[in-house]
Amino acid sequence: MTKWNVLAVDDEPHILALITELLSNETCTVETAADAALAWEKLNGAGSSFDFVILDRMMPGVDGLELLRRLKADERLATLPVIMQSGATSPEQIAEGIEAGAFYYLTKPYTMSALSCIVRAVMADSELRAKVAAQAAQYRESLNYFTSAELRFSTLEDVNRVAGILAAMCPDPDKASSGLMELLLNAVEHGNLGITYDEKKLLMYEDRWEHELQRRLALPEYANRAATVTFERKAGSLEFRISDQGNGFDWARYLELEPGRSLDPNGRGIAMARRYTFSRIEFQGTGNVVTATVAL
């Protein structure tokens, strides 16, 4: 069983003790830091390797928001997932955290189930990205010769493999893999399988999301659906066009992570892909076709 290395940063000892206790049931090893300076030291320590950070926003001296900005500005740490915990819950304050790079949010005080759910979401995202990155590394050399391609995909396993193949064609496969995975997964779960935002949120709270994907894939109305992605190498860019057979969705809402959705365990994939992977994302029509560009 995989052990996750977590850094919890908070100036309140009882909060650190609570996080450590709660995460002991989530196969996590927790290191703690009482301030931003110690956290930064641990993040940069020899041999340190954290899978994600739980960061308090309000701390004496350098606060969590400033530490988060420092993390995101550091190329080595920019993709490290950060769960921001805070009592600052106004839309403006949450928007400020999102702008700094906090795509996962917890409001104090929070319950064990809320922490467990958001941690499981981070773990699931990280595991998928790791699989895709491994696929990309495997295909890297041979795929540099491709100028165009078309691939079909239907399942979660297909998403992992196809994202890895496509990421291998990009100048930074690790960076590309997460964004490609999010858009391909969106085509399967929300497009072809018709899982709504609210349905996915409930499924993630109940830890039934992957089971529901498999259930719907076996239903007659969905079993024969497939999504496609085309790849084209252009002068100065790589272009990916993803199409699914669903009814589309209100895609404009998801280009940014709205403060009202920041506390949910889902709904941040497109915004993260737009911010960290692609130079441009354009949805067409009802949203069942999207073109994403990686600059060279």
pLDDT of 87 = 81
Residue 257's domain spans which residues? 131-295
Domain CATH code at residue 286: 3.30.565.10
| Residue 6 binned pLDDT confidence (cut-offs 50, 70, 90) | very high
The residue that leads in pLDDT, 186 or 88, is: 186
pLDDT of 16 = 94
pLDDT of 1 = 56
Q: What is the mean pLDDT of the segment spanning 143-168?
A: 91
Q: What is the mean pLDDT of the segment spanning 173-195?
A: 94
Average pLDDT over the chain reads 90
**259 within some domain:** yes
Helices (H), 24-100: 36-43, 64-73, 91-100
| Residue 64 binned pLDDT confidence (cut-offs 50, 70, 90) | very high
Tell whether 209 and 251 lie within a shared domain.
Answer: yes
Residue 48 clears pLDDT 80, i.e. is over it: no
Distance (Å, whole) CA 296 – CA 282: 18
pLDDT of 26 = 66
Residue 241 clears pLDDT 80, i.e. is over it: yes
> Helix 209-217 to helix 197-205 angle, to the nearest 10 degrees?
130
The residue that leads in pLDDT, 97 or 204, is: 204
**118 within some domain:** no
How many domains does one find in the chain? 2
**18 within some domain:** yes
Residue 177 clears pLDDT 80, i.e. is over it: yes
Distance (Å, whole) CA 161 – CA 132: 7
Q: Which of 75, 110, 145 is the last residue of a domain?
A: 110
Q: Which two structure tokens, joined as six digits, stand for 185? A: 């997964």
